[in-house]
Amino acid sequence: MTGKRTARQTAVFATLAILVLSGALLSLYIGSVHISLPDIFSALLAKGDETARVVVCDIRLPRLVAGLLAGAFLSCAGAAMQSLFRNPLADPSITGVSAGAALGAVLVICVFGQGALGGYALQAGALFCGLAACAAVWFLGRSRSGGVSVLNILLTGIAVNAFCGAVVGFMMYSARESGLKSFVFWSLGSLDAATWSVLVPCAVLGGIALAVLYLNADALNMLHLGQKQAFHAGVNIRRVQFAAMACAAALTAVSVAACGIIGFVGLVVPHILRLASGADNKTLLPLSALGGAALLTYADIASRAISLTDAVPIGAITSFIGAPVFLFILSNSRQTR
Amino acid sequence: MIEAFDIHFSYAKSGAEILRGLSLSVADGEFVALLGTNGAGKSTLVNIISGFERQNLGRVLINSADTTKTSAIELAGMRAVLEQSFEPAFDPTAFELVLMGRYARTGALGNSDEDIAAAAESLRMTGLSEFADRRYSTLSGGEKRRANISRVLAQIYSDNGDYKGKNLLLDEPCAALDPAHSLLALKTAKALSKAGASVLCILHDPNQAFRFADKVALLKDGKIFFEGSPSEAANACMLSEVYGADCKITSAPDGFPVAIFC
């Protein structure tokens, strides 16, 4: 936390940036309609063939942007949660946000029917219920004396998650077949529903949360010492805890609203990058944003490579690739320590 | 300067009253040693004085500012606290740990050259310069303690050597330290008090208190049982009563009193 970038951090940063850029190009390139790279560029600049323009700008680009945003948002939310809870196993779902957001979305579908899929009501419902679940965890999880107990919040989060998941399950069961597809969407994630009308508000809200989180990076670092030690060093504990919770919740809720629950990204990306370049949130947050964006972009490419017409749920891919990589890195780091 | 008036504290769960109307003050440039049995409430008192524990009746003033009405960052500029042992998450290096002590002074642009210099000097003061790049988890218990003492020193570091208006709360600084490093830690604290700082130091060994303190305070039954000079504190009868073990007083070759429990 010297505030100076090391050569290693620069190398990690450059690698991730190249991965994101190449992944983005690849993601725009592959698809059922063949469009050459020069045509993709001219389509991005709103020139050239009308069909290519529609395919690139209205189908492939929103999909790419959804992956980039959700990856960046979830990873940064995970990094913040891990700092806040001083625990590398923390991830955004711990706050109850993702399960709450999924419940909100499913409620909206039940009330408004399938037509709501992709509309604002759905996103708003997901966002509202996600934040409500997080608020419930926050207030129920506080200790009786008014202080914030990390353990209480973790346990309350687990209970709220289980409860929301159960309600989603019940509703899906009663919705039968028509509900099954949206159940898969909300529980395993998908970039299929990404449209500009959804992405723009998500990007704005998430961008604000990222900025607030970054401004609190130093204070978040201090929480690694423990609440008492951080307070003694001058940290306003309540404020930074609230800011981190609220930002992580907002980031998770908007990505769930846009793409459903995509697991493992928020846990694995910050963890791997912390091993690679240190725990300082001033560098970890930007690196996590890039890393998460890269992971989801490639996961989406993989899901479409498996089946172009009916993409495999992206959450299944992230966990499928992420888990072995994670285990490999963990076993390696244990040897070096 | 530290002033604590009529401090009461009870545990929320059991309701047991651990501090019962305690008052204590530490003047500028004074080194006060706080002694008492395990569980007497010494660490609780430090947490109350530092402003962390706010569920108490009574008043604490640090440099005349009420701790309950002063922000964390303002308090951090006036006082530093050495807590009992703890493990930081994500295993920082010794240098990173010490730099964290500079949080209250660090601006938005990250650590200044001044912060880096203060951290390096603080590590040198506990003899840990060579360990700067070692991960915290690889340090021994005593080295961890010294790294944390350095962190606390970095927080109130003054590059012109004037420590007036700085307050130091030390909760067992010598725990896990060998005799030479205990001596170094206490000498450093003593030097800071000579330079104007107010030092309140919890100690387990009364002999260290006799040797370094300007004033000794004995905590018993939730109150200050005795407060006075080291020579007055070196009273076999009183120490036997406070610690519940038979105490004899003799004197060291250089004249300081020595308490022996047997």
Q: What is the DSSP letter of B224?
A: E
The answer to whether A3 contacts B103, with C-beta atoms less than 8 Å apart, is no
Q: Find the Cα–Cα–Cα–Cα dihedral B143, B149, B154, B156, rounded to 10°.
A: 180
- Residue-level pLDDT at A99: 87
What's the gap in Å between the CA of B211 and the closest CA on chain A? 28
What's the gap in Å between the CA of B154 and the closest CA on chain A? 10
Contact of A290 with A72, CB cutoff 8 Å: yes
- Residue-level pLDDT at A270: 94
Residues of chain A neighbouring B73 (CB-CB closer than 8 A): 234-236
Residues of chain A scoring pLDDT < 50: 1-3, 336-337
- Residue-level pLDDT at A336: 46
- CA dist., res. A162 & res. A156, Å (int): 10
> Over the range B219-229, which residues count as b (16 or more CB within 10 Å of their CB) and which as e?
bbebbbbbbee
Place of tokens 């200050």: B224
- Residue-level pLDDT at A179: 62
Residues of chain A neighbouring B52 (CB-CB closer than 8 A): 228, 231-232
- Crossing angle of helices A61-84 and A281-306, rounded to 10°: 140
Flag whether residue B120 sits within 8 Å of chain A, measured between CB atoms. no
Give me the interface pTM, i.e. the ipTM: 0.95
Residue A24: which H helix or E strand, with range? helix A7-29
Residues of chain A neighbouring B76 (CB-CB closer than 8 A): 232-234
Per-residue confidence in pLDDT tens, chain B, 262 aa: 999 999 999 987 788 889 999 999 999 999 999 999 999 999 999 999 999 988 778 999 999 999 999 999 999 999 999 999 888 999 999 999 999 999 998 876 778 899 999 999 999 999 999 999 999 999 999 999 999 999 999 999 998 999 999 999 999 999 989 999 999 999 999 999 999 999 999 999 999 999 999 999 999 999 999 999 999 999 999 999 999 999 999 999 999 999 999 8
Residues of chain B neighbouring A274 (CB-CB closer than 8 A): 90
pTM: 0.90
Contact of A252 with A77, CB cutoff 8 Å: yes
What's the gap in Å between the CA of A271 and the closest CA on chain B? 10
Bridge partners of residue B247, in order along the sequence: B261
- Residue-level pLDDT at A309: 67
Please give the structure tokens belonging to residue B46: 């430090």
What's the gap in Å between the CA of A96 and the closest CA on chain B? 23
- CA dist., res. B178 & res. B175, Å (int): 9
- Residue-level pLDDT at A3: 45
* A293: CB partners within 8 A, 6+ apart: A20, A67, A68, A69, A71, A72, A75
Of the candidates A227, A229, A219, which has an alpha carbon nearest to the alpha carbon of residue B80? A229
- CA dist., res. A77 & res. A285, Å (int): 9
Q: Count the Cβ atoms, other than its own, within 10 Å of residue A284.
A: 28
3-state DSSP call for residue A106?
Answer: helix
Closest chain B CA to residue A85: B89
A50: burial class by Cβ within 10 Å (0-12, 13-18, 19+)?
exposed
A113: burial class by Cβ within 10 Å (0-12, 13-18, 19+)?
exposed
Q: Does domain B2-225 have CATH number 1.10.1420.10?
A: no
Flag whether residue A334 sits within 8 Å of chain B, measured between CB atoms. no
Flag whether residue A275 sits within 8 Å of chain B, measured between CB atoms. no
Q: Does domain A7-336 have CATH number 1.10.3470.10?
A: yes
